[in-house]
């Protein structure tokens, strides 16, 4: 029995993968079980921003795994402090709480914001509200899907406790109108990923920052996908020159080999936690700390933030130069670009399947947007290789 057939028998159908079975990967290239190579233009939703099997990550992982891989936070290690020290230096914030997946870091941020609202803003108990954006994607836990505006994420998973108010993304006035005395935080993605690489209007984040300052509300940004160089800055919010009160990080922090995430915030916000109020068996373990530290060092040493800005401009220019009646928009920042497909002409999933046949791995979202987010190590020649095949597929998908 082949791998795809076996997966369908023994795996719950919570994903709809492209029909390819991967076996090996190096850099920006992956190889399937038949030996065919593909250009990875997704990098596992930014989890593989440093490229597959980065030698420094593998070396750090193997060295640490052979010494002390996992121990609970019941004990101190010599690795956690330096890792989080570097993380708070890069973010410009004060303290971090390490977790595993991005969704766990989002849950951490929600708990921190609510407790801050009760202890520092005197919000009545169990009345705290968090403002979120419509079409958001922050993870798959029941709390998170409870404030999703995509009904397919919520269906048959309720009841949900509430405590969230959704407003249109990119509309600062809508946020202002939604704030009440019970509002403790605004939680948004600075660029919406799963919604289709949606970039808000210029000045949106600055307006939210000013609004939060006036209303004594926390501004918490989910940069699990957009952070750590993906948009051509260390963090997407830096394009507008602001500092959030809380920052949610993950994916690339694990170097493409291990789940590492963190909620980073101010000392005041982090002061709401006390022993036993939050935790994770694996969060901040020695292996995670070593890999996270090495990932941050690689981004710095290899100039991947600057590379993302340069290569992202080039890739976006190449995509915009393609003349095709299936494309209605090309948008994004850095090496994170969404291509809107005219649904009356073609399905984005069909285009993904066609790109797969040409040796390019991408993934659609909502059937209308192609996502291009290659490892930040990609070269101009590799972008050209991919764009030639994208153009070939686009040229065939016409009336």
Catalytic residues: 137, 222, 251
The DSSP annotation for 37-82 comes to EEEESSTTTTTTTT-BT-HHHHHHHHHHHTT-----TTS--TTHHH
Q: Is the peptide bond before 338 cis (omega within 30 degrees of 0)?
A: no
Report d(CA 107, CA 263) in Å as an integer: 9
Long-range Cβ contact pairs of 154-157 (< 8 A, separation 24 or more): none
Q: Which residue, 304, 303, 328, 334, is CA-closest to 316?
A: 334
Matching residue, tokens 């609202």: 117
Indicate left, alpha or beta for 35 from its phi (over 0: left) and psi (-120 to 50: alpha).
Answer: left
Please give the C-alpha separations between residue 162 and each of 105, 151, 158, 166, in angstroms, as whole numbers: 19, 15, 10, 11
Distance between CA 383 and CA 386 in Å, rounded? 5
CA distances to 75, 86, 310 from 79, rounded to whole Å, are 12, 11, 33
């Amino acid at each position: 029995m082949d791998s795809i057939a076996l997966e369908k028998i023994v795996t719950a159908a919570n994903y709809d993968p492209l029909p390819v079975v991967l076996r090996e990967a190096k850099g920006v290239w992956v190889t399937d079980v038949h030996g065919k190579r593909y250009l990875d233009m997704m990098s596992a939703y930014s989890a593989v921003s440093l490229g597959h099997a980065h030698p420094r990550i593998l070396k750090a992982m193997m060295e640490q795994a052979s010494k002390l891989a996992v121990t609970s936070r019941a004990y101190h290690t010599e690795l956690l402090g330096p890792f989080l020290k570097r993380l708070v230096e890069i973010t410009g914030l004060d303290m971090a709480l390490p977790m595993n997946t991005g969704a766990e870091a989002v849950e951490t941020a929600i708990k921190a914001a609510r407790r801050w609202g009760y202890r520092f803003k005197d919000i009545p108990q169990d009345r705290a509200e968090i403002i979120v954006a419509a079409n958001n994607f922050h993870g798959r836990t029941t709390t998170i899907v409870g404030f999703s505006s995509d009904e397919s994420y919520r269906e048959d998973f309720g009841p949900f406790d509430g405590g969230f108010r959704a407003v249109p993304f990119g509309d600062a006035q809508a946020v202002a109108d939604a704030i009440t005395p019970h509002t403790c935080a605004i939680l948004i993605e600075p660029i919406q990923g799963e919604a289709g690489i949606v970039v808000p209007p210029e000045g949106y984040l600055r307006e939210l920052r000013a609004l939060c300052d006036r209303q004594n509300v926390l501004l918490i940004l989910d940069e699990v996908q957009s952070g750590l160089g993906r948009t051509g800055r260390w963090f997407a919010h830096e394009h507008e020159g602001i500092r959030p009160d809380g920052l949610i990080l993950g994916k690339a922090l694990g170097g493409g080999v291990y789940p590492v995430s963190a909620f980073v915030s101010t000392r005041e916000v982090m002061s709401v936690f006390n022993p036993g109020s939050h935790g994770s068996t694996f969060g901040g373990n020695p292996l995670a700390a070593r890999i996270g530290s090495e990932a941050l060092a690689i981004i710095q040493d290899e100039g991947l933030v600057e590379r993302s800005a340069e290569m992202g401009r080039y890739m976006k220019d190449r995509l915009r130069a393609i003349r095709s009646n299936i494309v209605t928009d090309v948008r994004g920042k850095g090496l994170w670009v969404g291509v809107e497909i005219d649904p009356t002409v073609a399905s984005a999933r069909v285009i993904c399947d066609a790109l797969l046949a040409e040796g390019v791995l991408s993934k659609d979202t909502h059937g209308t947007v192609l996502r291009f987010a290659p490892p930040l190590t990609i070269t101009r020649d590799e972008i050209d290789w991919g764009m030639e095949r994208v153009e070939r597929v686009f040229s065939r998908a016409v009336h």
